[in-house]
Amino acid sequence: MEPLVESGNAPPTAADTAGETLEFKQSAPLSMGVELELQLVETRGCDLTRAASDLIELVERRPHPGEVKPEITESMIEVATGVHHRYDALAAELAAIRDALGAAAERLNVLVCGGGAHPFQHWPERQIYDRPRFRHLSDLYGYLAKQFTVFGQHIHIGCPHGDDALYLVHALARYVPHFVAFAASSPYSQGTDTQFESARLNAVSAFPLSGRAPFVLRWSEFNEYFAKMRRLGIVESMKDFYWDIRPKPEFGTVEIRVCDTPLTAERAGAIAAYAQTIARYLLIERPVQLTEDLLLTYSYNRFQSCRFAFDGDFIDPVSQKHSSLRDEIAATMERLEPHARELETEEPLAALAAVARENASDARWMRSRYQLTGSLHDLVWQQCRRWRGEV
Amino acid sequence: MTDFFFLPGWPLAMPQLFWLGVLLLAATALGELLDRWLRLPRILGYVIAGALLGPEVTGLLTEGAVQGLGPFLDVAMGIVLFELGSRVDLRWLRRNPWLLLTSVLESALAFGAVYAILAVVGTKPLVAAAAATIAVATSPAVVLAVSKEMRAQGQVTERLQLLTALNSVYSFVAFAMLFAWLHLEARGSIGLVAMHPLYLVLGSIALAAVAAVVLLAALERLGPRGDVQTISALGVVVVAVAVAMALKLSVVMTLLGMGILTRALDRNRRFLAVSFGYVGQLFIMMLFALTGAALRLDLAATALAAGLGIAAARALGKAVPVLALAKPSGLSYRKASLVSVGLLPMSGVAVVMAHEAASIWPSFGPQLGAVVLAAVLILELLGPLAVQFALRRAGDAADAE
């Protein structure tokens, strides 16, 4: 995600000299970028296939929008946008990347699709992408590394300062169920209906360093925490934390990692716009005083959203009242209105509000498609068509 | 009648079925041995087991027994061809026309190279053309069996399968044309000359289309259960093989065509989940074991050098276009060279073709037949190694680590 690094002009701090601290690079506030992990499937049976290195080689032959990178397996490819301030530019780049990738994939007879997990892939078949870091992960995590063939959308939001980033990390926690529900697209896993809207997050939770960031509010405190973890030999870099939301000091961003890769680039762009608008609301209005108690509801709300999406129960950590996630989202949309106007994200937010109202999650679309044919192979085929905008 | 009439006589009169079982066990054991100790393709073990038990070496399986098992061989070949055909995506050729050009050129140049070498040593044009036609085809069985064994996926695998299916089709069509030519020299009736290849090609395609439509209709009605789909596909394949033989059409063409058309006509993607699994595995094993048993080592040995010459010319003819068109078709040179290595195995079908040619035109006869057989033998044994090497090096194989 190099393009997200806007500038490296943050003044060095005293801690820098210790050599063990993380410098939070400054980036333009509320700038955003998106990373999408996409599935590569073959045209015969729609199973995952090994195509990433050939596809990347082909795409890299000529100038193309965004970035295209290998991921842990050959059946996954990661695309990343540059840094954007406006939703329409982000959406346009996402569409351009999708088209460039699609053209290359056609020449290789490979299909590309969204979705948080492949519905019927068998993980023992997966090929680990041949690079030392991936090999290391595979050795360390064993079957988890291969089961981790799940596909997520990561959203980066720029922050001017590490303290703002930490505020955002914790204040965004309340909205994690929103992101989960909007992007939920992994109802099937290993050939069965998981009953979850997003089964992908269950795979993520198996990793020892998943979950939430520690409750610290100042960047200096975070650095202390990181230094301790490093001294203990638990982590080497920020990459080792698989938190739902984590600061990304080298980019100067906060990274939201709970989203499945949606079935369309449009939905991915809209969710990024939602994140940007919430971030503006949070950073400008500072609506809550952060306390650790606000996180008591975190796991409960997150689970409800993974399992039921918009129908899930949501406990407001401040008022402690129960409501449906659908109502919580509707209320949030109202609060976001002035900020959406300011950022010109009204259109994508209106689209998402309709998705919540009408229960039109990608996972639901997938289930209805599967019901038509009873074939998960055909479902993947339809996902590929949806990614290309044909259905 | 003795008191012990219920006991068997001595020595035991073992039915040939016994040796079939032994053949399967020996093939499995040898296959596993090669895989575990030497990391060589299992199918090589099957071939060797067949050769060891066959009439040429120990003779435990008599020539009669091998012929008696012919129907298994036909069904196995049918399944392999059908499955390979179903891996051909005609739409890919439309989206990436460079592949079609690669396919046409690699076949044409392989033909040209083999023809030239035979012409230089003074072979009659028609005979040289027949041998060159046989050399166009890559072995569908070896390519499919090795890529399945290695659970290979990726560009090298996909392209290898595509090119193999296509060059088998070209080889067959060209051979049908040659038949006509042969007839012309032998009997000289124009009507006959035109009719035979036309009947072979069009008849095979028509039968393939009917079989594909029947299969898709069956899959549509029987629902998505995997085992049901597999067995119904198997049933249609066996019927298609039998009908093709009864109508004196080409089994190769019919079954490859049936696979290709099933894929192309499958608008509702009923065919997505069909895989032959263990059943396919069993037939592949029998196919290679019986091929091994039928290998004529003595004949081939007499023409080893000539066979090597043909094999080398053929390899060059295939490699040049694959490499030349690598970039426009969207592949790196490294992977393109692996594709051309994978194209090496010569088809066991070539043996059948050589016999057919010899039966129609005796002067094709023992000498050139031996050269072709030698080339086949070389590439039958080295072919699996070549494909394995290519798929492993490309990173397509599941055991590439």
Residue B198 forms part of a structural domain: yes
Residue A353 lies in a domain: yes
DSSP alpha helices (H): ranges in chain A?
A: 52-59, 87-108, 132-141, 143-147, 162-171, 176-183, 200-205, 219-231, 265-285, 298-308, 325-343, 346-357, 362-373, 376-387
Which residues on chain B are in Cβ contact (under 8 Å) with A130? 395
Which residues in chain B are closer than 8 Å to A57, comparing Cβ atoms? 332
Residues of chain A above pLDDT 70, percent:
91
Looking at chain B, which residue has its C-alpha nearest residue A49? B153
Establish if B4 belongs to a structural domain: no
pLDDT (mean) for B40-53 = 91
Whole domain around residue A28: which residue ranges? Answer: 2-36+76-90+115-361
Q: Let me know if residue A29 belongs to a domain.
A: yes
Number of domains in chain B: 1
In terms of C-beta density within 10 A (0-12 exposed, 13-18 middle, 19 or more buried), how is residue A191 classed? exposed
Q: Find out whether A159 and A274 touch, Cβ atoms under 8 Å.
A: no
A58 and B CB contact within 8 Å:
yes
Across the interface, which of A50, A107, A374 has its CB nearest the CB of B154?
Answer: A50
- For Cα atoms A271, A274, A280, give the angle at the middle one, nearest 5 degrees: 145
Of B155, B395, B396, the CB nearest to A108: B155
d(CA B260, CA B247): 21
Lowest-confidence region among A127-131, A349-353, B290-294, B376-380: A127-131
**% of chain B at pLDDT higher than 90:** 41
Mean pLDDT of chain B: 85
Position A271 pLDDT exceeds 50: yes
Model confidence at A17, pLDDT cuts 50, 70, 90, reads very low
State the DSSP string of A297-336.
THHHHHHHHHHHGGGSEEE-TTT--EEEHHHHHHHHHHHH
Q: Does B392 touch chain A (CB under 8 A)?
A: no
The answer to whether residue A330 is domain-embedded is yes
Q: Which residue on chain B is closest to A105 by alpha carbon?
A: B330
* Chosen from A54, A129, A377 to mutate, greatest number of chain B CBs within 10 A: A54
Q: To probe the interface with B, which of A41, A46, A49, A50 has the most B CB atoms within 10 Å?
A: A50
Sign of the Cα torsion B197, B202, B204, B205 reads positive
Residue A8 has pLDDT above 60, yes or no: no
Cβ–Cβ gap B158/A109 under 8 Å: yes
Measured between CA atoms, how close is A97 to chain B, in angstroms?
18
Contact at CB, A44 and B263, closer than 8 angstroms: yes
A130 touches chain B (CB under 8 A): yes
CB atoms < 10 A from the CB of B36, how many? 10
The stretch B377-388 carries a mean pLDDT of 85
CB contact under 8 A, B89 and A108: no
* Amino acid A128: pLDDT: 56
| Average pLDDT value for residue range B45-61 | 87
Beta carbons of B395 and A381 less than 8 Å apart: no
B154 SS3 class: coil
Checking if the pLDDT of B184 tops 50, the result is yes
Instruction: Find the CB nearest B396 among A43, A50, A130.
Output: A50
**Segment B133-147 mean pLDDT:** 91
What confidence category does residue A207 fall into, taking pLDDT thresholds of 50, 70 and 90? confident
SS3 of A219, please?
Answer: helix
Task: Report the gap between the CA of A104 and the closest CA in chain B (Å).
Answer: 8
Question: What digits encode the pLDDT tens for the residues B323-367?
Answer: 999 999 999 999 999 999 999 998 766 666 666 666 666 666 666
Asked, for residue A58, whether it belongs to a domain, the answer is no
Give the pLDDT band of residue A77 (cuts 50, 70, 90). Answer: very high
- Residue A34: its pLDDT value, please? 97
> What is the secondary structure of B289-304 as a DSSP string?
HHHHHH--HHHHHTTH
Element (H, E) at B211: helix B190-222
DSSP string, A232-300: TTS-SSGGG-EESEEEETTTTEEEEEEEEPPSSHHHHHHHHHHHHHHHHHHHHH--S---GGGGTTHHH
Taking only Cα atoms into account, the Rg of chain A, rounded to an integer number of angstroms, comes to 20
- The answer for A 79-118 residues in CB contact with B (under 8 A) is 104, 106-109
Give chain A positions within 8 Å (CB) of B401: 128
Q: What are all long-range contacts of B273-277, with beta carbons under 8 Å and residues at least 24 apart?
A: B273/A45, B273/A375, B273/A377, B273/B224, B273/B226, B273/B229, B274/B86, B274/B219, B274/B226, B274/B229, B274/B230, B274/B233, B275/A45, B275/B226, B275/B230, B276/B79, B276/B83, B276/B230, B276/B233, B276/B234, B277/B230
Contacts with B151 from chain A: Cβ below 8 Å: 125
Identify the residue with better confidence: B9 or A86: A86
CATH code (residue A265): 3.30.590.20
pLDDT of residue B186: 67
Smallest CA–CA distance, residue A116 to chain B, in Å, is 21
In a domain, B56, yes or no: yes
In a domain, B147, yes or no: yes
pLDDT at position B122, please? Answer: 81
CA distance B254 to B3: 57
**Does A100 reside within a domain?**
no
Which chain A residues are within 8 Å of B331, Cβ to Cβ?
A: 54
Task: For residue B157, give the chain A residue with the closest CA.
Answer: A50
Return the higher-pLDDT residue of B20 and B23: B23
- The more confidently predicted of residues B205 and A145 is B205
Domain count, chain A: 1
Reported pTM: 0.88
Q: Which of B158, B269, B335 has the CB atom closest to A377's CB atom?
A: B269
* Domain at B208, CATH number: 1.20.1530.20
Average pLDDT over residues A288-293: 90
Residues of A in contact with B223 (CB under 8 A): 374
* Cis peptide bond N-terminal to B11, omega within 30: yes
Give me the amino acid identity at B113: A
Residue B32 has pLDDT above 90, yes or no: yes
Which of A213, A294, A272 has the alpha carbon at shortest distance from A248?
A213
- Give the domain range for residue B118: 17-394
Q: What is the pLDDT of residue A279?
A: 97
Q: Is the pLDDT of residue A129 over 60?
A: no
Task: State residue A2's pLDDT score.
Answer: 28
Q: What is the DSSP letter of A199?
A: -
Q: Is residue B11 part of a domain?
A: no
B293-319 per-position pLDDT tens digit = 877 777 667 777 778 888 899 999 999
Dihedral sign for Cα atoms in the order A213, A216, A218, A222: negative
Judge: A107–B153 Cβ closer than 8 Å, yes or no.
no
- pLDDT for the residue numbered B268: 77
Question: SS3 of A36, please?
Answer: strand
Confirm whether A248 is domain-assigned: yes
Q: How many CA atoms lie within 13 A of A55 on its CB side?
A: 34
